Each structure stands twice: as structure tokens, then as C-alpha cells.
Structure 1
Amino acid sequence: MKEKKSDIHFDGLANKFATNIYGTTKGQLRHKILLYAIESLLRSPPTNVIEIGGGTGLMAKALLEVGHNVVFTDASAEILEHARLNLDGFTNVKFRHQTLEEIDDLSQYDVIICHAVLEWLHSPLEALSHILVKMKAGSQLSLTFFNHDATLFTNAIYGNFDYIARGLKVRNQVRLNPKNPLRPKQVIEHVTNCGLQVEKVTGVRCFHDYMKVKPEGEQEQELLNLEMKYCQEEPFMWMGKYVHLLIKKPLPDNA
């Protein structure tokens, strides 16, 4: 599967990416909830991990700090340099400049991290299949994607009816606006049809993005507590701006 010209990477936007994605309250909230979602991975003995589209290295740092060996990949050379600086001093990390489609050794890893990557690709489910097919039996995938249903709901609240009528497609693509949000039930069905198991579902920012007035000071901790309390409960988890799936490829019956 070849990289498509309409896939979005972040060369030329590395500083803006770091500021807008990770330097905001909503970005920090996303990271904390994702750490909560993968706490079982963070508690496990050191394993071999590959992160696809690792950004500036925030998640990789959490994995490295607890002893995991991480292969860090990103399609953007500029983003990769940011990650090298942010992860300077760690000896248990290797860096590779690769698109998702160029990674051909996924069967070597116990854990695959793919957070907020699929929605930037022209064919996200095809890219997901690339991962699912190549995973080794017994390994796990930590997958996060931009939630189509939550995006539609948010735009309905704000009266963006033309945008909804266009299928959530903007007339002029903004580089930091995901192009292909995914429906959670569609992704889960795709995973199960490929023979894998969804072990846990977590909604990321189930409340924050619907709030007219964003919390400040002590209320930020109160919101985080609320998010963590309900992020794995229905119906709230399906309203997260992102959805996280912890996926496992089962061992053969005769293993």
C-alpha cells in the first residue's frame, strides 16, 4: 500500500502542531485520559513497542519512563526532530522516518501505539487493516481516532448545518483539521471482522468540547475527575471527541 498524496503530514507545521495540539488545555486533557486508558500497558513488564505517528514524543516518553523499548516513527521529518529533542537522554528508543504504510515489521512488537493518525489519511480503514493483518498473535494495539459522531453533534450544536450537509467536509482543507473522522461502531466492526478483540473502549473529552465556558484553575481538576469517571461508561464514552480502543490479536486455539 503506497502513501497517498492526499494523506496529511506536518512538515512545515511542526511548531504550530506542537503548540496547537499539545500546548493547549484540551491537548493536555487528551493526554491524561489516554494515559488512563492505557494504564495496563504502563504497568506491564518492559515490552517492545512501536509508535506510529508519535508526534512530539509525549506518549513515547510515558512508555520509556516505565522501561518499555520504543521504536518511534513519524511521517514528518520536522516532527521527528522535535521528538528527538524531547526524548533526548533515553537509551531505550529508536527513531524512524516512516509513513504508516512503510512500516513492514509490525509483527515484531508486543504493543503498537497508533494515536490520532487514521483521521489524517485518505483511506483510514485500509491503513488500519495494514496494522491488524501484520500484528503478531497475542500483541495489543492502542488505537485512537477522531470521532465522526461527536464532530457531527458538536457542529449541530453550533448550527453548522452546511458543514454537516457536506458530510463534514470543509471547502478548503485546514492543515490541522482532521479530514476523515471515523464512526466508532464502524471501526469496531472492522476490527472484529479482521478477527481481533476490542478489550476496552474509552471516550476522550466526553464533556470538555461541549462546554461553552471552559474550566480554569481548580475546576480543571474537577473536569478531569468527571471525564475519568464516565469515559468508559455508556452513553458518555461514545461522545468523546476522540475514541480510544485497546485491541488484542488473539492467540491461535492450538497455542
Structure 2
Amino acid sequence: MSDSAPLSPAGDRHFDGLADKFAGSLYGGPRGELRLALLDELLPRMLELDGQPLLDVGGGLGQLSAWFARRGHRVTLLEPAGDMLAQARQELAGLPVSFVQAPLQALPERAAGRWPLIACHAVLEWLSDPKAAFATLAENLAPGGQLSLMVFNRDALRFSNVVKGNLQKALEDRLEGTGKRQRLTPISPLCHEQIVAWSRESGLAIRSVAGIRVFHDYLRQPPSSEADWQRLVELERRYCQVDPHWRLGRYLLYTLVHETRSPEETPR
């Protein structure tokens, strides 16, 4: 993708041509290592897993699909970027994963069904209409089903800009990226209050929430030794679900459950 590459027709940021960038600078570095380490600990704690089929929406290079497939889940990976999907096919060869090249908006046509388990990690913030996308996820979740949702935290982005000295930008709340360059600033960073409101509107209940990279992204200098790295990892593990720390995680990780009661039966 060139610096002047347009967004998709829907106004979303897709990642055609950036598979190597994701594999190297993101997942191949400390940020990605920490993110995956925290997910490895949090997902079994936050989800009720019994080998049910999983739909991985916007699954990218397939790290999350691999995690579930190796634990006995049959996975369908939905991803719009062709080169991402091709690399995922190579990496996940031999695992019970099927692949569908399509954006989230095509979910009802390309991966129809009421899914008992859906994962959608780091996707909504790249869409022009994340609220409509959230509703699509909810509509395709089975009664009692679980949605593992991870979003880029707008409040953390504001705090990070202040730490970096971008004070006027923070005051003016100019936090969104344009989506037209290779820099990976999301076009629709989200806040916790939006997820709370959208969940209520869609009949989903928030079962649990955690912050991913609560401390790491605000460090003035990276850990200088393996011992300091392990101390940082322990701090992240210890406080990722502790208020107020989780609220400043670079990502917010949710478990949402499709309520089976009618609105009249739901306590107020």
C-alpha cells in the first residue's frame, strides 16, 4: 500500500500489502510479544471454552486463530486483506482452520450463522462505522454466545499524546489517524463508554474487561535487562484487570455475552 492509497469503498482501513510490516514491527517486537502473552493468560480466564466453533473476524495473520485451533476449536478466519490471508494459510497449515476473504460487513453473507464464539480483536478501530460493525457481530452471536472483543483505547491514545508532549493535539481531541498512510494510528479509536452503550443497545452483557499494555506504552525507556522485562510483564499481569489501571491499557479486552432473556425480563 502506498502512502496515498485510498480507504476501502466503505471508508475502512484494510491492510493489503502490509503483512510483512505486521509480522515484523508489531508481532515480532516487544509490543506484540506482550500482547500475545497477556492474551494467553486472559482468554482462558475471561471466556468459557469447551471446544465450540469460533469465528475469528479480521483475523489477520492468524495468531488468534492458531491459539484457539490448538486448543480444540474449529476456526473460521475472516480477513479482507489477501496477503494477510495467504500468510495465515501458510502459518496455520495442518490446523482445523478455514479461510474466508471478506470484510466484517460481509459476515452475514460469507460466514452466516449464529456463532457460539466470536473473536474480533483490533478491528473496529479501523472501520468508518464501528457502531454498525458491533451490531453486526451481536446479530451473528448465538443466544448465550460469547464475543471476545478487543479495541484500541481512545483514552490511552490521548494519554500517550500528552506524555509525548502533543498537548494541543490532545486538547483539540485530534486523535484519529487518516488511514491513508502506512502509519498505524487507528481511524476510529474507541472508549469504554461506547462499548457499554453499544452493548446495551445490542442485548449484550459485559462479563469482564481487561487492559492490554497498561504500562508498557508509557515507558520513557524500554526495559534494559531480561529481569526488568519480566518485572514489567508481572506488573501488566497483576494490574490488567484492576481499576483504575485497566482503563489506560492501549487495548481494552472484553468478554460480552448474548443475553437470552427478553428486555422485559432484564433487571434495570
Taking structure 2 as the reference length, the TM-score comes to: 0.88
One-letter amino acid of the structure 2 residue matched with residue 174 of structure 1: R
Matches within 5 A, 1:73-92: 73-90=78-95, 92=96
Matches within 5 A, 1:127-142: 127-142=133-148
- 1:238 paired residue number: 247
Matches within 5 A, 1:39-50: 39-40=44-45, 44-50=49-55
Check if 1:204 corresponds to 2:207: no
Residues 49-94 of structure 1: CA deviation (Å, up to 9, x unaligned): 000011111111111111101001101010001101110111x111
**RMSD of Structure 2 on Structure 1 (CA):** 1.9
SS of equivalent residue, structure 2 residue 113: helix
TM-fit CA distance, 1:42? 7.2
Check if 1:101 corresponds to 2:105: yes
Taking structure 1 as the reference length, the TM-score comes to: 0.92
Matches within 5 A, 1:9-158: 9-40=14-45, 44-90=49-95, 92-104=96-108, 105=111, 107-158=113-164
One-letter amino acid of the structure 1 residue matched with residue 203 of structure 2: G
121-130 or 156-165: bigger deviation: 156-165
Contact 1:106–1:136 under 8 Å retained in 2: no
One-letter amino acid of the structure 2 residue matched with residue 243 of structure 1: L
TM-fit CA distance, 1:43? 6.9
Whole-Å separation in 2 of the counterparts to 1:113 and 1:67: 15
Long gaps (5+) in structure 2: 1-7
One-letter amino acid of the structure 1 residue matched with residue 220 of structure 2: K
14-23 or 162-171: bigger deviation: 162-171
Contact 2:51–2:72 under 8 Å retained in 1: yes
- Percent same amino acid among aligned pairs? 33
Structure 1 130/43 Cα, relative in aligned 2: closer, same or farther at 3 Å? closer
One-letter amino acid of the structure 1 residue matched with residue 204 of structure 2: L
Contact 1:163–1:169 under 8 Å retained in 2: no
Whole-Å separation in 2 of the counterparts to 1:170 and 1:196: 29
Contact 2:179–2:187 under 8 Å retained in 1: no
Structure 1 134/23 Cα, relative in aligned 2: closer, same or farther at 3 Å? same
Structure 1 251/152 Cα, relative in aligned 2: closer, same or farther at 3 Å? same
SS of equivalent residue, structure 1 residue 228: helix
- 2:181 paired residue number: 174
Structure 1 66/107 Cα, relative in aligned 2: closer, same or farther at 3 Å? same
Whole-Å separation in 2 of the counterparts to 1:103 and 1:21: 26
SS of equivalent residue, structure 2 residue 228: helix
Contact 1:53–1:117 under 8 Å retained in 2: yes
**Paired positions, count:** 251
One-letter amino acid of the structure 2 residue matched with residue 147 of structure 1: N
Structure 1 171/81 Cα, relative in aligned 2: closer, same or farther at 3 Å? closer
